[in-house]
């Protein structure tokens, strides 16, 4: 029986290829899983739910992320965005690349004093900002060319229209109480 020297090599190569493919698939799945886990840790409010309070008012409850911030997915003019709530910010602050994607118009140039010094930005007005079922508009905002990333600082020009209360790791937002 004459065997060619390569007759056993093809199945062996196929077996090695399958092992390599299995490891690559496992690494891809682990990467996806841990990226999703990190995203959920950074933004635990990716799906903002609205509940009705005892007096029939809509309420949004946000969980604080592991860094102590309230980050939530919402909408500007019906387009999805990510907000970081910032009670120390006078206006809603939109990074320039995000503002361009949203089609926000640059208005009057303005200067703001921030913790990082004085910045130049442009005023703008957002037709509507939504966080769950809480929608407010028009809202004064600024387009900030110096901000990195895609998170929008949800400042007091939005938050002043709501009552908010922090208890533990939960922030509850609702329309002001009717008198």
Pairwise CA distance, residues 44 & 135, whole Å: 20
Pairwise CA distance, residues 124 & 144, whole Å: 10
pLDDT value at residue 44:
79
Indicate whether 54 and 129 sit together in one domain.
yes
pLDDT values of the chain reduced to their tens digit, one per residue, 179 residues: 555 555 667 777 777 877 777 777 767 776 665 555 555 556 878 878 888 888 888 999 999 998 889 999 999 999 999 999 988 889 999 999 999 999 999 999 999 887 778 889 999 999 999 999 999 999 999 999 988 889 999 999 999 999 989 999 999 999 987 65
Is residue 32 one of the residues assigned to a domain? yes
Is residue 60 one of the residues assigned to a domain? yes
Is residue 107 one of the residues assigned to a domain? yes
Indicate whether 80 and 99 sit together in one domain.
yes
Q: DSSP letters along the chain, please?
A: -PPPTTTTHHHHHHHHHHHHHHHHHHHHHHHHHHHHHHHHHH-TBSS--EEE-TTS-EEEEEE--TTS--EEEEEETTEEEEEEE-TT-SSEEEEHHHHHHHTPPP-SEEEEEETTEEEEEEEEEES-EEETTEEE-SEEEEEETT--SSEEEE-HHHHTTSEEEEETTEEEEEPPPP-
Indicate whether 28 and 109 sit together in one domain.
no
Is residue 153 one of the residues assigned to a domain? yes
Query: Could you tell me the residue range of the domain that residue 167 belongs to?
Result: 50-174
Indicate whether 37 and 57 sit together in one domain.
no
Indicate whether 70 and 112 sit together in one domain.
yes
Is residue 179 one of the residues assigned to a domain? no
Indicate whether 35 and 100 sit together in one domain.
no
Q: For the chain, how many structural domains are there in total? A: 2
Indicate whether 141 and 114 sit together in one domain.
yes
**Which residue, 151, 143, 176, is CA-closest to 70?**
151
pLDDT value at residue 103:
96
CATH of residue 100's domain is 2.40.70.10
């Amino acid at each position: 029986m004459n065997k060619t020297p390569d007759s056993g090599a093809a199945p062996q190569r196929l077996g090695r290829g399958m092992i390599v493919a299995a490891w690559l698939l496992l690494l891809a799945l682990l990467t996806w899983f841990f990226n999703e886990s990190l995203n959920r840790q950074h933004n635990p409010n990716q799906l903002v739910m609205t509940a009705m309070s005892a007096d029939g008012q809509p309420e949004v409850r946000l969980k604080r992320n592991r860094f102590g911030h309230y980050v939530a997915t919402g909408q500007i003019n019906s387009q999805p965005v990510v907000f970081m709530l910032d009670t120390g910010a006078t206006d809603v602050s939109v990074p320039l690349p995000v503002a361009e994607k949203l089609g926000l118009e640059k208005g009057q140039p303005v200067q703001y004093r921030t913790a990082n010094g004085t910045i130049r930005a442009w005023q703008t007005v957002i037709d509507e900002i939504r966080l769950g079922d809480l929608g407010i508009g028009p809202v004064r905002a600024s387009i900030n060319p110096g901000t990195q990333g895609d998170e929008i600082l949800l400042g007091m020009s939005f938050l002043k229209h709501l009552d908010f209360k922090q208890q533990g790791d939960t922030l509850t937002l609702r329309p002001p109480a009717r008198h």
